[in-house]
């Protein structure tokens, strides 16, 4: 949770027993300011701006520039490298604020969650080489290449292989659903460096690399965009004899699976925050419309058939928000947060999808009109039932890792 901010949180003594500090669910003044300041930025980018990008499959370069100018995309980068030095909790507020508007934080969120891998496992030299330029916007780190066509979520079975040859690695393989590759300068790549049959544990033998896309595209990497139901800039990558300098290896060779878990836990928490932003956008818009829209001589919001779905979605959103805060707090403390990160993503994705359905039903036919933004954000938030991890895989994780039930696959 957020740090205590009032005298009410001081431990008290009752009946001779010292009671623990009370939990304070309020944001600090600094956290409130972050949410408000990001809100000021996103208000300059109207629904019409995002509708045009959606029609033309464009990338919001102006929006990214505004976030960079405000220092928001360097939130997790330590101050010594030119960033804001914020925690994951504060960073989640940034992405929530973007989605609590017509905007879509998916255009920039990878730069946030990839930082978990780089900051915790990158060398000092790598941090000095990349972080200042990422913080000031000269470099974009927006691509995270893990998923492959034949293995999907079964990450330890991936086929992309990096073979060491002197001071470089030669990489061959294929990746799919790698978003924003065309709009990124750098990419984190997960590849096998030891064949699966030669490792004691299937999670061993995987390594993480920095790839400079400015040099790699056309010289080892071929990018093929994948048209999708939302403007997500997804791509398929064909990797043929790509040369990666050995100095771009992050951490130790063969330990990459453990390293990317930090990025994946951060990813789940930040995606949860985006879903919470989406849900609140849907609920705000639907509630306003239900108060103003009159049919049969009275506001449609007076009908319980409209009220109840919105009220239930609100309750589920607030519950998901609490788990988001707990997961982010654990991550920032360096404590185990896998279960909480996954539950936050599950609950928030369900809440945003529920709120989107309720909003679409409330707007009726107008909800399908592009000018209202409901149908577009409805498409965008639907993604999070499937990716970056499906809700079914989260449920199996909870069943096996938290409840101790037998493995289902």
Q: DSSP readout, 224-278?
A: EE---SS----EEEEEEEEEEEGGGEESSTTBHHHHHHHHHHHHHHHHHHHHHHH
State pTM to two decimals. 0.92
C-alpha 393/C-alpha 140 separation (Å) is: 30
Give me the phi and psi of 195, to 5 degrees please: -55, 145
C-alpha 379/C-alpha 386 separation (Å) is: 12
User: pLDDT at position 263, please?
Assistant: 83
C-alpha 69/C-alpha 305 separation (Å) is: 45
Whole-angstrom distance between the N-terminal and C-terminal Cα of the chain? 34
Coil, strand or helix: which one is 375? helix
Q: For residues 42 and 99, is the Cβ–Cβ distance under 8 A?
A: no
User: pLDDT at position 364, please?
Assistant: 97
Helix (H), strand (E) at residue 206: strand 206-212
User: pLDDT at position 390, please?
Assistant: 93
Q: For residues 38 and 97, is the Cβ–Cβ distance under 8 A?
A: yes
Coil, strand or helix: which one is 99? helix
Instruction: Report the candidate in 277, 388, 255, 401 with the shortest Cα–Cα distance to residue 337.
Output: 401
User: pLDDT at position 20, please?
Assistant: 58
User: pLDDT at position 166, please?
Assistant: 97
Note if the bond before 328 is cis, omega within 30 degrees: no
Neighbours of 182 (CB within 10 A): 15
Angle between helix axes 61-69 and 29-42 (nearest 10 degrees) is 150
C-alpha 272/C-alpha 267 separation (Å) is: 8
Neighbours of 336 (CB within 10 A): 11
Angle between helix axes 256-292 and 338-363 (nearest 10 degrees) is 30
Instruction: Report the candidate in 112, 126, 296, 306 with the shortest Cα–Cα distance to residue 211.
Output: 126
User: pLDDT at position 71, please?
Assistant: 93
pLDDT in tens, the chain (409 residues): 444 444 444 455 555 555 556 778 889 999 999 999 999 999 999 999 999 999 999 999 999 999 999 999 999 999 999 999 999 999 999 999 999 999 999 999 988 888 878 888 999 999 999 999 999 999 999 999 999 999 988 999 999 999 999 999 999 999 999 999 999 999 999 999 999 999 999 999 999 999 999 999 999 999 999 999 999 999 999 999 999 999 999 999 999 999 998 788 999 999 999 999 999 999 999 999 999 999 999 999 999 999 999 999 999 999 999 999 999 999 999 999 999 999 999 999 999 999 999 999 999 999 999 999 999 999 999 999 999 999 999 999 999 999 999 999 8
Q: For residues 151 and 158, is the Cβ–Cβ distance under 8 A?
A: yes
Give me the phi and psi of 186, to 5 degrees please: -125, 155
Q: For residues 346 and 391, is the Cβ–Cβ distance under 8 A?
A: yes
User: pLDDT at position 29, please?
Assistant: 94
For residue 5, give every residue at least 6 positions away whose Cβ sits within 8 Å of its Cβ, in sequence order, or none.
Answer: 24, 26, 28
**DSSP-assigned beta bridge partners for residue 251:** none
C-alpha 278/C-alpha 282 separation (Å) is: 6
User: pLDDT at position 270, please?
Assistant: 96
**Which domains occur in the chain, in start order?**
23-135 (1.10.540.10), 141-256 (2.40.110.10), 258-402 (1.20.140.10)
Neighbours of 344 (CB within 10 A): 31
Q: For residues 69 and 63, is the Cβ–Cβ distance under 8 A?
A: no
């Amino acid at each position: 949770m957020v740090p205590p901010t009032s005298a009410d949180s001081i431990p008290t003594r009752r009946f001779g027993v010292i009671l623990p500090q009370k939990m304070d669910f309020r944001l600090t003044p600094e956290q409130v300011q972050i949410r408000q300041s990001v809100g000021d930025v996103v208000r300059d980018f109207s629904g019409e701006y995002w509708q045009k990008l959606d029609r033309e499959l464009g990338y919001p370069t102006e929006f990214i520039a505004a976030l960079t100018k405000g220092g928001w995309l360097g939130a997790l980068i330590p101050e010594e490298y030119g960033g804001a030095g914020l925690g994951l909790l504060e960073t989640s507020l940034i992405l929530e604020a973007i989605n609590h508007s017509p905007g879509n934080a998916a255009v920039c969120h990878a730069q946030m969650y990839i930082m978990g891998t780089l900051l915790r496992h990158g060398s000092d030299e790598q941090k000095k080489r990349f972080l200042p330029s990422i913080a000031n916007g000269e470099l974009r780190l927006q691509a995270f290449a893990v998923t492959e066509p034949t293995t999907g979520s079964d990450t330890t079975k991936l086929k992309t292989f990096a073979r060491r040859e002197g001071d470089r690695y030669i990489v061959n393989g294929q990746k799919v659903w790698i978003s924003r590759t065309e709009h990124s300068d750098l990419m984190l790549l997960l590849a096998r460096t030891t064949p699966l049959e030669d490792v004691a544990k299937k999670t061993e033998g995987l390594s993480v690399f920095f790839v400079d896309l400015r040099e790699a595209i056309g010289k080892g990497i071929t990018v093929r965009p994948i048209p999708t139901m939302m403007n997500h800039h997804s791509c398929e990558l064909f990797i043929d004899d790509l040369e990666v300098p050995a100095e771009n290896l992050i951490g130790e060779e063969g330990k990459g699976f453990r390293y990317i878990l930090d990025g994946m836990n951060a990813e789940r928490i930040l995606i949860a925050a985006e879903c919470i932003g989406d849900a609140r956008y849907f609920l705000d818009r639907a509630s306003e419309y239900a108060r103003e829209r009159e049919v049969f001589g009275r506001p449609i919001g007076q009908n319980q058939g409209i009220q109840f779905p919105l009220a239930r979605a609100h309750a589920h959103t607030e519950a998901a928000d609490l788990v988001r805060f707990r997961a982010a707090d654990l991550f920032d403390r360096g404590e185990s947060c896998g279960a909480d990160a996954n539950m936050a993503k599950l609950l928030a994705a369900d809440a945003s999808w529920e709120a989107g359905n309720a909003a679409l039903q409330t707007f009726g036919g107008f909800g399908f009109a592009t000018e209202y933004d409901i149908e577009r954000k409805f498409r965008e938030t639907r993604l999070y039932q499937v990716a970056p991890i499906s809700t079914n895989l989260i449920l199996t994780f909870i069943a096996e890792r938290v409840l101790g039930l037998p493995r289902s696959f």
